[in-house]
């Protein structure tokens, strides 16, 4: 059996060994490949002579063909070829072609398996310059296989995006671009994937390179691609100073793994969002799960995609203290992106006046509005309707169970007022903190408003095994199995802790030297103290902390001491970092997913991490000095 790979540089192996040198001579190989791709593997002698030896007299061409067939029989076996009159054919089963496997996978929608077979152009680098008929055939086959390979790679990239693996999706899309640099579809996928992976500059470079290549033939990118480039350009980019060593950021990508075990949840959430937009009707998505189960990550994936699709996104993250501060959630929504939505100026003046009276940024923009304001809670629905007249609107509230009563009632009223507009409410909640207002909102689902409820539980062993395989591909099967069992025990299947452990192992943590004992009975992650966590979890957080730059450590330590949400000014005061140095440190902490930013300040992605940092990475004296530096500012801040 001879194995032949033609999707890329041609490769042949004969029963696992290198084939005879004569078989690889250019025209002998061309004859073999041409027969393999001929209908029923058969061609007439006259046709083959004209294909490869058309420049020779008939007798010389016939001799050359006969010699080539002799080489093929000697290499493949006497039964490999058959002759019937003037027809020469290669018997079925003699060759095992990668294109056959590709075709089967393509037909079954096995995009991953098919994409793995694509190593480049069809017969990349191969040719027979003095045989123009063969060259014409080769050009035609390359064009046909290029279309199929690009389609498979594009489908695989889309599948990877659907699982949240934007980095891998970008890599696959770039492979497709190398095959077809002028495919608008491929460039669109590549730009989306790069933007979702946080590589905004690379996404824009991809667009500009594409636009330049089109300009060379007098064309311009289509409008949708240009609009995508504009959206990518408007996105905020995290900045890491050149002084931050690669050793600090290396491996940080493990903090955002593919959504292994959460693919179906993301698909359902995106489906709810797109039904809302397509049906021009408000909808709700509830993401329910305990701390660390991945609610925030799903919401982030939804926001990133919605922004690239042209939606206005409004986000806020509630903390426990918000529950006792009336209308604090409404103020946060007003500052969390609602003001920049395109259609807002068309809202009723009374609604604009309500927000202008409550929020200085709105007052600056709508200072000419001089009517009596509506109640703020009722004004929200009017503003959302106006905004949605111009573009879809996505409202995301993380830890919505901590919202104040007035803001939750405003959300309920907003759902009703904007019921016939493309407004999607995504609310992330923890089951151990029930709220009657949220129960009422859920009661409207299916009757007044469409919606979806996603309940996230611990990852199964198989999902953790996939995470291990993704994060540590250099490990053998036995090592991966042992690590999977250890991670399952230490993390209780909580994605946040499993990823934290994997990140630390990738950075050098030896799990054999630390103990594990999890979970504490009848306690959630929010209720668990750092001292009750497995030693492996605490050690993993310490390892990751020490990999941060010194400035990032100072900023993070300050945030850990000061509370659930901390303003930039408070971090600056407590850490004694200023200007670009502080900005870079905060960007590093966002990059490595320690902190999440919103207009009101920064909060820890995971409260348990904040508690470990505050307890283990600072001395009592350091904690007290941070508090003393910030206390005068807090004393002057009104409640």
Question: Residue 302: which residues within 8 A CB-CB, separation 6 or more?
Answer: 266, 269, 270, 273, 285, 394, 396, 426
Examine the pLDDT at 259 and tell me if it is beyond 90: no
The pLDDT tens digits of the residues spanning 47-91 come to 999 999 998 999 999 999 999 999 999 988 888 898 888 999 999
- What are the structure tokens assigned to 115, written together? 């994409």
pLDDT band at residue 517 using 50, 70 and 90 as cut-offs: low
Separation of alpha carbons 192 and 233, rounded Å: 12
User: In this predicted structure, which of 62-66, 421-425, 530-534 has the lowest mean pLDDT?
Assistant: 530-534
User: Which range (110-114, 116-120, 551-555, 617-621) has the least confidence?
Assistant: 617-621
List, edge to edge, every strand of the sheet that includes 423-429: 312-317, 393-398, 423-429, 283-288, 451-455
Which residue's entry shows tokens 């943590």?
Answer: 509
CA-to-CA distance for 554 and 61, rounded, in angstroms? 80
Tens of pLDDT along 94-149?
899 999 999 999 999 999 999 999 999 999 999 999 999 999 999 999 999 999 99
- The pLDDT score that the predictor gives to residue 249 is 47
Q: DSSP character for 393? A: E
Q: What is the pLDDT of residue 165?
A: 86
Cβ neighbors of 581 (< 8 A, separation 6 or more) are 241, 551
**What percent of the chain has pLDDT above 90?**
61
Q: Which helix (H) or strand (E) holds 395?
A: strand 393-398
Supply 76's token pair.
Answer: 């493949």
Whether the predicted model's global pTM rises above the 0.85 cut: no
- State yes or no: pLDDT of 408 exceeds 90: yes
What is the residue-wise DSSP string for 159-176?
Answer: HHHHTT-HHHHHHHHHHH
Going by C-alpha positions, the residue among 434, 377, 428, 433 that lies closest to residue 605 is: 428
Q: Which tokens go with 75?
A: 């290499």
Q: Are 80 and 73 in contact (CB under 8 A)?
A: yes
What's the pLDDT at 600? Answer: 84
pLDDT band, very low/low/confident/very high, at 238 (cuts 50, 70, 90): low
The pairing of beta strand 451-455 with beta strand 393-398: unpaired
Cα dihedral 316, 317, 321, 323, rounded to 10, equals 70
Which pLDDT band holds residue 16 (cuts at 50, 70, 90)? confident
pLDDT of residue 480: 93
Q: 124 in helix, strand or coil?
A: coil
pLDDT at 520 over 90: no
pLDDT: is 28 or 525 the higher one? 28
Tens digits of residue pLDDT in 376-403? 989 999 999 999 999 999 999 999 999 9
- Decide which of 407 and 337 is more confident: 407
Q: Output phi, psi for 592, to 5 deg.
A: -95, 10
- Report, as an integer, the average pLDDT of 537-544: 88
On whether the CB atoms of residues 9 and 119 are closer than 8 A, the answer is yes
Token pair 């042992």 is found at 482
CB 357 within 8 A of CB 370: no
Distances in Å between the alpha carbon of 136 and those of 7, 24, 140, 145, 159?
Answer: 18, 21, 6, 14, 35
Opening angle at CA 422, ends 421 and 426, nearest 5: 120
Arithmetic mean of pLDDT over the chain:
89
pLDDT value for 639: 44
> How much is the pLDDT for 256?
72
């Amino acid at each position: 059996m001879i194995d032949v790979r033609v999707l890329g540089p041609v490769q042949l192996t004969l029963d696992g060994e290198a084939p005879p040198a004569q078989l690889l001579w250019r025209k002998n190989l061309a004859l073999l490949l041409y027969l393999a791709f001929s209908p029923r593997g058969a061609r007439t002698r006259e046709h083959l002579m004209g294909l490869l030896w058309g420049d020779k007299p008939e007798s010389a061409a016939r001799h050359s063909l006969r010699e080539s067939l002799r080489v093929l029989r000697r290499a493949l076996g006497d039964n490999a070829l058959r002759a019937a009159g003037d027809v020469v054919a290669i018997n079925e089963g003699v060759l095992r072609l990668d294109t056959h496997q590709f075709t089967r996978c393509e037909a079954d929608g096995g995009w991953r398996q098919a994409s793995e077979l694509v190593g480049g152009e069809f017969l990349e680098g191969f040719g027979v310059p003095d045989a123009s008929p063969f060259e014409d055939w080769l050009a035609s086959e390359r064009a046909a296989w290029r279309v199929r390979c690009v389609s498979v790679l594009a489908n695989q990239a889309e599948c990877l995006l659907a699982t949240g693996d934007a980095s891998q999706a970008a890599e696959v899309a770039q492979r497709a671009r190398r095959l077809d640099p002028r495919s608008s579809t491929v460039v669109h996928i590549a730009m989306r994937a790069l933007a979702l992976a946080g590589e905004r500059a690379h996404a824009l470079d991809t667009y500009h390179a594409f636009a330049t290549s089109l300009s060379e033939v007098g064309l311009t990118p289509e409008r949708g691609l240009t609009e995508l480039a504009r959206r990518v350009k408007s996105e905020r980019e995290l900045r890491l100073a050149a002084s931050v060593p690669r050793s600090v950021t290396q491996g940080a990508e493990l903090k955002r793994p593919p959504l292994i075990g959460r693919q179906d949840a993301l698909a359902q959430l995106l489906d709810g969002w797109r039904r809302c937009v397509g049906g021009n009707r408000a909808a709700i998505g509830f993401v329910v799960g305990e701390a660390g189960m991945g609610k925030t990550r799903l919401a982030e994936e939804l926001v990133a995609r919605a922004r690239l699709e042209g939606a206005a996104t409004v986000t806020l993250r509630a903390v426990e203290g918000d529950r006792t501060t009336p209308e604090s959630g409404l103020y946060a929504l007003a500052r969390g992106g609602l003001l920049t939505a395109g259609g807002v100026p068309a809202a009723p003046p009374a609604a604009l006046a309500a927000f202008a009276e409550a929020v200085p940024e709105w007052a600056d923009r709508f200072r000419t509005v001089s009517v009596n304001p509506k109640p703020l809670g009722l004004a929200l629905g009017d503003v959302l309707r106006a905004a949605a007249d111009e573009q879809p609107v996505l409202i995301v509230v993380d830890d919505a169970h901590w919202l104040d009563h007035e803001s939750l009632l405003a959300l309920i009223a907003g759902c009703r007022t904007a019921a016939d507009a493309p407004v999607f409410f995504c609310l992330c909640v923890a089951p151990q903190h029930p709220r009657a207002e949220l129960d009422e909102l859920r009661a409207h689902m299916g009757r007044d408003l469409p919606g979806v409820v996603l309940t996230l539980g611990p990852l199964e062993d198989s999902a953790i095994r996939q995470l291990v395989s993704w994060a540590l591909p250099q490990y053998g099967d036995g090592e991966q199995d042992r690590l999977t069992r250890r991670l399952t025990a230490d993390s209780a299947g909580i994605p946040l802790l499993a990823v934290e452990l994997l990140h630390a192992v990738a950075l050098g943590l030896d799990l054999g030297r630390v103990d594990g004992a999890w979970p504490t009975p009848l306690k959630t992650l929010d209720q668990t103290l750092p001292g009750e966590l497995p030693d492996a979890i605490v050690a993993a957080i310490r390892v990751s902390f020490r990999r941060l730059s010194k400035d990032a450590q100072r900023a993070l330590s300050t945030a850990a001491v000061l509370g659930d949400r901390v303003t930039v000014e408070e971090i600056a005061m407590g850490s004694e970092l200023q200007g670009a140095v502080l900005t870079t440190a905060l960007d590093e902490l966002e990059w490595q997913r320690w902190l999440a930013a919103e207009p009101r300040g920064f909060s820890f992605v995971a409260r348990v991490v904040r508690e470990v940092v505050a307890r283990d990475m600072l001395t009592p004296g350091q904690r007290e000095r941070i508090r003393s530096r910030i206390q005068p500012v807090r004393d002057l801040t009104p409640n």
